[in-house]
Structure formats: structure tokens, C-alpha cells
């Protein structure tokens, strides 16, 4: 198998150029799918037969919750690639994921609490799903704090990568917590065997909202990663050539 493509992404100038081309596509598609998902979910979808209009918070809560784990998986994967193959670009991507992932996690916790108040009668319960999601927020904050506490970039990359990889154990706990323990949290609706437990009029807007969150995440990560690459490579010749400075 030819792994040339993989190693090319480890080249800072190559990554910088490719990311610059992908960002507008991701941003525009995120905007289009986001508007379509919100109109479909907040306006066109019918009320839920049990939860009434209150269920509509899922069009923010569910994508945020999915992206909170997806962002962590992306961060840990990039950190692992950087640790094993010593790719600075991979560490830059991992560092760029942390703040965004923490924001998604915080949004998922807040919207989940707002949803839980009318459904459970309380804003917070030490439910397995909620608790493991909170642990992930602390993992994000720990990752960012560890990076910020170490002045040497190479050491910060290695230490934070180890923490990110250790934290991966929390991802299956989040996903399967509603199956493994007694949980107030709603069970799997989308990611389960058989067809989803939602009619198309509710499901399609939710999928569009999730697509919008994924594309938004991709766009923001690429923007931040480009900035991180520039910071790390600020003295490199290719940056001087990019800016048109004399050699």
C-alpha cells in the first residue's frame, strides 16, 4: 500500500495549502445544512407525542453531544499519530481540537440540563451518561491546561498526547453507559441496530443539523490548525516564500 498521501499530510506547507482550500467548502456547506436543519427541526417537524414542543432542543443537544465525542476521538487520533510518527502537523491538529471539543461538551451538558428539567424534574442527576460527559469536559480542560503549563512545545506535545490517549477509555463508557447501568438518560435513537426510533419528518432535520455541526467542526479545526502550523513554523523558509519575503 502506498502511504505517500499520509506522509504528505505531515508536510506543513502541504497541509496549510490543502486546509486553505477545504475551509470555505466546509463553512458554506455547514451554513446551508445548518439553516435547513434548524428550519426543518424548529418549524416543519411536528411536536413529539410525549414531550410536546420541548423535544426540539435535540436539534442542538444531540449534534453537540455527538461532536463532543467525535472531537475527542479526532484529538486523540491526531495526538497518537503525532506521538508515533513525530508529525508536528498532527500535534497541531490535536491542539486545535481541544478548545472546540470542550465547547461542544459544555453545550451538550447545558442543553441536556435544560432538557432534563421538564423531563426529569431536575437540571442535574449523577446519571452515568451525564457524569461520563462531565469527565470528558475535565479531560479537555486537563489537556489544554497541560499544554499551557509546559513551555517547550515538543514536551507539551508528548505529555498532552499521552493524556489524550488515556482519556479514550471514556468514549465507550459515554456511548454504552445507557446500556451498562440504570440510566435516566434516553437510550440510543440513531446509533442502534434496526431503524431509528424517529419518523423521517424529525430524523432528516436532525441528520442535517448533525452534518452542519460536523462541517463546522472541520472548518474551525482547519482554521485553528493553520494558525498553529504558522506559529510552529514561523521561522521556516516556506512561510517567508508564502509571504513573498526575500530569502
Per residue in 183-227, pLDDT (tens digit) is 666 665 665 545 566 889 999 999 999 999 999 999 999 999 999
Please check whether residue 186 lies inside any domain of the structure. yes
Q: In the prediction, which pLDDT does 44 show?
A: 94
Phi and psi at 9, nearest 5°, equal: -70, -15
Please check whether residue 238 lies inside any domain of the structure. yes
Please check whether residue 19 lies inside any domain of the structure. yes
Please check whether residue 4 lies inside any domain of the structure. no
Phi and psi at 179, nearest 5°, equal: -95, -35
Please check whether residue 9 lies inside any domain of the structure. no
Q: In the prediction, which pLDDT does 67 show?
A: 97
Q: In the prediction, which pLDDT does 43 show?
A: 94
Residue numbers of the domain that contains 182: 14-242
Q: In the prediction, which pLDDT does 193 show?
A: 45
- CA quadruple 163, 165, 171, 173: dihedral positive or negative? negative
- 218 and 21 Cβ atoms separated by less than 8 Å: no
Ranges in the chain, pLDDT < 70: 1-7, 181-197, 245-247
Q: Which of 45, 66, 52 is nearest to 205 (CA)?
A: 45
Q: What is the mean pLDDT of the chain?
A: 90
Count structural domains, the chain: 1
pTM above 0.75, yes or no: yes
Please check whether residue 113 lies inside any domain of the structure. yes
Q: In the prediction, which pLDDT does 3 show?
A: 65
Please check whether residue 88 lies inside any domain of the structure. yes
Please check whether residue 31 lies inside any domain of the structure. yes
Q: How many alpha carbons fall within 13 Å on the CB side of residue 195?
A: 4
End-to-end CA distance of the chain: 38
Amino acid at each position: 500500500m502506498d502511504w505517500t498521501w499520509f506522509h504528505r499530510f505531515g508536510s506543513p506547507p502541504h497541509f496549510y495549502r490543502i486546509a486553505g482550500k477545504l475551509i470555505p467548502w466546509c463553512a458554506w456547506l455547514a451554513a446551508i445544512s445548518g439553516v435547513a436543519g434548524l428550519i426543518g427541526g424548529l418549524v416543519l417537524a411536528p411536536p413529539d407525542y410525549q414531550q410536546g414542543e420541548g423535544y426540539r432542543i435535540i436539534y442542538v443537544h444531540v449534534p453537540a453531544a455527538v461532536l463532543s465525542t467525535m472531537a475527542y476521538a479526532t484529538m486523540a487520533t491526531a495526538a497518537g499519530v503525532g506521538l508515533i510518527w513525530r508529525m508536528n502537523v498532527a500535534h497541531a491538529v490535536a491542539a486545535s481540537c481541544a478548545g472546540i471539543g470542550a465547547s461542544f461538551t459544555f453545550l451538550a451538558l447545558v442543553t441536556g440540563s435544560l432538557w432534563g428539567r421538564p423531563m426529569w424534574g431536575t437540571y442535574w442527576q449523577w446519571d452515568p451518561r451525564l457524569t461520563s460527559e462531565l469527565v470528558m469536559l475535565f479531560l479537555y480542560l486537563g489537556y489544554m491546561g497541560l499544554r499551557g503549563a509546559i513551555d517547550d512545545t515538543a514536551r507539551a506535545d508528548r505529555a498532552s498526547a499521552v493524556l489524550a490517549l488515556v482519556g479514550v477509555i471514556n468514549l465507550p463508557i459515554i456511548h454504552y453507559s445507557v446500556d451498562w447501568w440504570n440510566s435516566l438518560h434516553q437510550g440510543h435513537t440513531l446509533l442502534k441496530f434496526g431503524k431509528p426510533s424517529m419518523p423521517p419528518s424529525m430524523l432528516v432535520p436532525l441528520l442535517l443539523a448533525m452534518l452542519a455541526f460536523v462541517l463546522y467542526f472541520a472548518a474551525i479545526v482547519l482554521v485553528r490548525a493553520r494558525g498553529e502550523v504558522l506559529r510552529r513554523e514561523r521561522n521556516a523558509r516556506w512561510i517567508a516564500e508564502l509571504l513573498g519575503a526575500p530569502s
